[in-house]
Structure 1
Amino acid sequence: MEFVILAVAIVVVAVITGALLLRPGRRKAPPRVPPARTSAGTATETRPAGATVAEEEPVAPPQGPIEPSVGTMPIPEIEKPPPSAGRLVRLRARLARSQNTFGRSLLALLSRDTLDDDAWDEIEDTLLAADMGVAPARQIVEDLRTKVQVLGSRTPADVRELLRGELIAQIGADWDRALHTERHGTRPAIVLVVGVNGTGKTTTCGKLGRVLVGDDRRVLLGAADTFRAAAADQLVTWGTRVGAEVVRGAEGADPASVAFEAVRQGIDSKVDTVIIDTAGRLHTKTGLMDELGKVKRVVEKQAEVDEVLLVLDATTGQNGLQQARVFAEVVNVTGIVLTKLDGTAKGGIVVAVQRELGVPVKLVGLGEGPDDLAPFEPGPFVDAILGD
């Protein structure tokens, strides 16, 4: 009898257990999801809906190289630009292509057997056509007439040397054209870049950053042109290529505050040089020019401004001189950057703008390539004009 009761109990337990196992609505264990790769190339595990942190297990990093996922931009390779030394000599051919007409015309006129008044007038007209300016052109003609009379007979080599000496004298071989970009004490050098829209100001900031990186300087770029988002984007692109940090603000932000922050971060990061791009001011807009003065004053609360570089388009010729005058009244311009000099035969603008402002041309742009900005050197410049 006891055996029968035990058997019945076992059957009842088995039935109840089977009913519990087959009960509808029992939740199944969440399926394992394979790891997904992020844009940074690390593995993460996708959590199923309703899962808790306790249900997750640590995921080992994947072995072997990871290809970037679709839509992921690869990290650009940091470039090492060439040093500034000898750049103008390397770019001489580009300069010669635009300036040779001017040089050949002068050499041809001076090589005539007889130099009468008409010939000297032609020489002066050629100098004026190259945007040399009236006073420098007349000075060159007077000096050349005197030397030709003393010399008497002239060989082509004599003529070239005479003209070369006069051009270098007018350009000014004794100007201090050094860029003051060295860190001093606990402060980086501050370079403020100003100019009218369309002169290549933002591009100049990026190229100057490359020049300094090529000279083993640590550079920070400040995008204080907050009126154009494209200007800040452009600076970020330049900085990324050479590993330079870029400080930017929101579109429409106060330019002075962005410049202030750039200098602050430059001090904290212990960089050598901070280059600040400013909005392309129209020199006829008094309010905007006043704002440029404000940017400079705000920056100087933290560090001295070592350079104020005025960017001028060489193709505008004498029209650029009016711009230069107004900028010089607002900020203390310390140097000129002449862009697009390879696109004009009016190399005499170098002389005219220096005479107008009393400050030297320090940099020249000779093309659209990233390394086409060069320190200005009078000798190689004149040699490119006159040819071999």
Structure 2
Amino acid sequence: MTLLALGINHRTATVEVREQVAFTPTQLEAALGELRGLPEVREAAVLSTCNRTELYCIIDASGEQAILHWLGRFHDLQVEDLSRCAYHYLDNDAARHLMRVAVGLDSMVLGEPQILGQLKDAYQSAREARGLGGELERLFQHTFAVAKQVRTETGIGRNPVSVAYAAVSLASRIFDDFSRSRALLIGAGETIELVARHLHDAGVHQLTVANRTRERADRLAGSLGGRAITLDEIPAALEHSDIVISSTAAPLPILGKGMVERALKKRRHRPIFMVDIAVPRDIEPEVGELGDVFLYTVDDLQEVIEENRRHRQVAADQAESLIERGVGAWQHERRIRSGGELIRDYRTRAEALRDLSEQQALAGLARGEDPEAVVRRLAHQLTNRLLHRPTVALRQAASAERHDLLDAATALLLDGSSDKTP
């Protein structure tokens, strides 16, 4: 069995591609069921965020291509197009990649903390869909332990840095005085909650939170002295908003060019700063064509993010060292488990041969055969049966000049052969 990590992220694919490959919450259960149902797949988990879609699987030898073709079918994409922007890692490299993702070393914002929570959600979804077996279960638990150690022993999580923080930092370059700015936040998830708190800390106290359900928006807006509205009330709120930041899981855009154009007219063309953090996008790209709109997507936050990355690089180097230790520990445990399974299988086969020889010996005694002859035949048959397969394998190895196998056999079968232990 092989551990595979296959996916795309912000480094390998544009936001247009990422939004096509993303799994919505409503799709996730069906996707896990289909993926786990592939003959080549033994275990499976799916991580899907605005910046990455990744599949973690325990597979047979031919599983990678089967998974890539399945991903293309699920999202109605050509496999060739996916292959150009997809990456894959196997076994130790896959484990290392998962740990780097968990601590934020592979994120757009170095060390951002949200990804660990998203990974835990992906793990829980896979468990509920019965996609996890022993291998992935142990890998995820080990990864969470490594991530906790990294957060505890390095400064990777200090000084809040996230896509949300980067969006607010970018807004601060445009607005000299946040205290006079009014913000409209669309969505009520973790990202928008971070945006709201960053804006509030920066001096924006006129906050409006729009969400599909008013209850969730009420909880967030109320904690910061803002007001909550539903998505249907966005056109009216847009007329009074200087800053608009959106992050929902909606499959289609929420803000269209026409809606924004009408709001600008009523604002007498006072500009609006917009950041669309969602994948798929919440704001139609055509909105950016309007003269009084400054529209940014997650990909446009790269400059701000790079500044933050430099501040966290020392902690990141420390985290890499801890991850290498984590990969080594996982690999060691996996080898021990693999050796244990081999020993169990070998003992089971040997015991089956023993039982067969024993039954034949007892049958001979029951027929009145000479006990000494029965014992001699038992010893001869059992020895031949136990040595037959190893002998064939050794001859084949010698014929093929597989010195590695011959050396291993010598170490396993002949080292200590002079011992007199009965």
Higher relative contact order (CA 8 A, sep 6+): 1
Q: TM tier, shorter chain?
A: 0.3 to 0.5
**Looking at CA atoms only, which structure, 1 or 2, has the larger radius of gyration?**
1
Please report the TM-score for the alignment, with normalisation by the length of structure 1.
0.33
